[in-house]
Structure 1
Amino acid sequence: MRRTRWIVLGGCFLAYLFDALEIVLLSLALPAIRVDMGLSVTQAGLLATATLLGIGVSSVMGGYVADNFGRKKALIASLVIFGLFTAAIAVVPNFTVFLILRFLAGIGLGAVWSVVSAYVVETWPTKSRGRAAAFVISAFPAGGALAAVISGQFLPDWRLMFLVAGTAVVLPTFIVLVFFRESATWAADKAAHVTDVVSVRDVLGGSLRRRTVLGTAMAALALTGYWGATTWLPTYLTTERDLPPESVALFVMILNVGMFLGYNGFGFLADSIGRRRTIILTLLGVAVTMPVYALTTDQTALMWLGPLFGAFTAFFGLFGSYLGELFPTRVRATGAGFCFNVGRGVSALAPFGLAGLAGVIGFSGGLIVCAGFFALAAVVALLLPRNGEQAADPVAEQTADLRRDATATM
């Protein structure tokens, strides 16, 4: 049991790292893509929007596959999908095909979050689940930092960069295929409900409706602020703060180091004071620090403010364990995935919307608007139950089942 727990932790971290890598690379490559393909700011924003729309679609597809056919199969399928369509960008002939490929890649990218979150909730006990989930999701800033390094080596050759990044997904796919076991909690629950087919209707009705709606609203508001800000951050630094491309890569890498430390630090805090309380704290923290970052003109101050506001984006890492705990095993991937990925689907409008705002109030003004979404998300979080409330511990359930089976055979 303990060995399986650590294999899941490491494998899910690596899978989500590559997930993050593919997403962040687009933001870093947008300036070069715009020049090479002659795209407007609005068209470039649509590329990010297409990715997030695909992620939104995966909220239904990914959860359905994971809850009906197993966590392992769903994770492998997700990795193959986004790796294949990311690598295909290397030969994209025009803007329309680029949009289609990003949408299709988004379907795989979004499904990864649902599966790794369910895996962690079902293999780690309550007392350390916040830290475990935060560590896995901290793969996102780690992937972002890796993306900054890779972009510095490959750009302006963005086609080769996407080819290498997409092909490299073979590594986490192999690890999951060879070393992962199916979630024992899911397998036991599936055996007890062998004829049941899970669908999104199960989380939109009865006692689960309220937490699904509120969880989705919280995620949508928080992720609208997040994707609106991070998609255009490299462009903001280049156009409004006059940083050269090599400096932008350094700034983004330092910012992601702050994110990584924040995800793990707040993960420990979540296990101490509660996940919902920590989520609210981080949302308010980024709502305060982002406007300061947007209004700062000194480049040295910008470099060190980045990891500060980045650390407060730790809510991203806490959503995995918190949302997963709100739903029972049978619908966990569907419920948590619906909340998070529909939220990401709604946030698909953020890159496009911020591109329009930039023409009126600049990218710095747009970043300040994003801060307001974080504050609203904190208000919605107050309406949700505390962590563990109305949610059973799947690890404890599994242990109890094993003990009962052992007693029955004595």
Structure 2
Amino acid sequence: MRNKNSFMSKLAVLSVSLVLTSAGSINGALPLIESGLKISNTEMELLSTAPALSVVIFVLLSAVLADHIGIKKTIALGLLLVGVAGGAPMLLQDYSVILASRFLLGAGFGLINSLAVSIINVLFDSEPNTKATLQGFRGSAENVGNATLTIIAGVLFAMNWHMSFAIYLIAFPILVLFWIFAPEVNTEPKTGESAETESQFNLSPTVWIMAIFALLLVMMFTALSVRFSSMAVAIKGENYNA
């Protein structure tokens, strides 16, 4: 078993989060996609938001799958889906097929989403300081990854809108890094853990209120992100790189 405290092991675990929030990183290309595919504004925006639906579904399925094949293999499968489905529109011209690939992209994100947190919690359960530090870095990795991939998508957009989807190919080197250096994860419950886990599901009303607030916040940011490119192009002209 690899040393979980080595720099490369920690980097491998954290690198997974770099792609987690990148579903909207291609939003700047949406107006050109609309004109290129000759689709409606609603259909265009659906390309950006479709991954969110499959994320919800596959977040729920990821725990079941992880119980059967393990956390590491489930995350690896999610990264593979992100790379293949995310990069597929580079070669596609049909709207329905591109929409299906975006749905599969969300499925990949869903398989990774909760497990990116869980793998840190399981590996460093006996080291609370390290666990807290890595969870902080993991959250930062999401924002850094989103910002970086959005910038790269904008640069690639200068070639054509298809190339914007090349940002998801980063999932392949992350997959290699993760598979080689991430330790295997033992998910067998410890003695007395079942009762403790059961008690954790008794959530207080405050938690539910915070969850609803978080949901509204994400919805607002998603709406702003999807509409911004269309507004920018309407003001600056159709060739403007939003």
Q: Hey, what does 1:210 align to over in structure 2? A: 202
Count of matched residue positions in the alignment of Structure 1 and Structure 2: 232
1:159 matched to 2:151? The reply is: no
Deviation per residue, 1:263-293 (Å, 9 max, x gap)? xxxxxxxxxxxxxxxxxxxxxxxxxxxxxxx
Q: Hey, what does 2:41 align to over in structure 1? A: 41
Residue 170 of structure 1 aligns with an amino acid whose one-letter code is F
The 3 A distance-change label for structure 1 pair 134 and 112 is same
RMSD in angstroms over aligned alpha carbons? 3.3
Residue 233 of structure 1 aligns with an amino acid whose one-letter code is S
Residue 26 of structure 1 aligns with an amino acid whose one-letter code is I
The 3 A distance-change label for structure 1 pair 7 and 91 is same
The Cα shift of 1:52 comes to: 0.5
The Cα shift of 1:134 comes to: 1.9
TM-score, normalization: structure 1? 0.49
The Cα shift of 1:87 comes to: 1.6
Matches within 5 A, 1:11-90: 11-21=12-22, 23-90=23-90
The 3 A distance-change label for structure 1 pair 182 and 220 is farther
Q: Hey, what does 1:296 align to over in structure 2? A: none
Q: Is the 8 A contact 2:45 2:226 kept in 1?
A: no
Residue 162 of structure 2 aligns with an amino acid whose one-letter code is R
The Cα shift of 1:172 comes to: 0.9
SS in 2 for 1:169: helix
Q: Is the 8 A contact 2:149 2:167 kept in 1?
A: no
SS in 2 for 1:100: helix
The 3 A distance-change label for structure 1 pair 4 and 128 is closer
Whole-Å separation in 1 of the counterparts to 2:120 and 2:95 = 38
Whole-Å separation in 2 of the counterparts to 1:58 and 1:93 = 26
TM-score, normalization: structure 2? 0.79
Q: Which of 140, 145, 148 pairs up with 2:147?
A: 145
Whole-Å separation in 1 of the counterparts to 2:200 and 2:129 = 24
SS in 1 for 2:93: coil
Q: Is the 8 A contact 2:82 2:109 kept in 1?
A: yes
Deviation per residue, 1:67-119 (Å, 9 max, x gap)? 33211111111101121111211233332222211111111112212111011
The 3 A distance-change label for structure 1 pair 211 and 92 is farther
Q: Which runs of 5+ in 2 are unaligned?
A: 192-196
Q: Is the 8 A contact 1:237 1:243 kept in 2?
A: no
Whole-Å separation in 2 of the counterparts to 1:24 and 1:51 = 9
- More contact order relative to length (CA 8 Å, sep ≥ 6): 2
Percentage identity across paired residues of the two chains: 21
Q: Is the 8 A contact 1:27 1:231 kept in 2?
A: no
The 3 A distance-change label for structure 1 pair 221 and 27 is farther
Q: Is the 8 A contact 1:82 1:166 kept in 2?
A: yes
The 3 A distance-change label for structure 1 pair 48 and 69 is same
Deviation per residue, 1:188-212 (Å, 9 max, x gap)? 538x8xxxxxxxxxx8xx6454339
Q: Which of 126, 131, 134 pairs up with 1:129?
A: 131
Q: Hey, what does 1:354 align to over in structure 2? A: none
Whole-Å separation in 1 of the counterparts to 2:173 and 2:2 = 23
Q: Is the 8 A contact 1:8 1:120 kept in 2?
A: no
Give the stretch that moved more between structures: 72-81 or 2-11: 2-11
Q: Which of 198, 218, 224 pairs up with 1:226?
A: 218
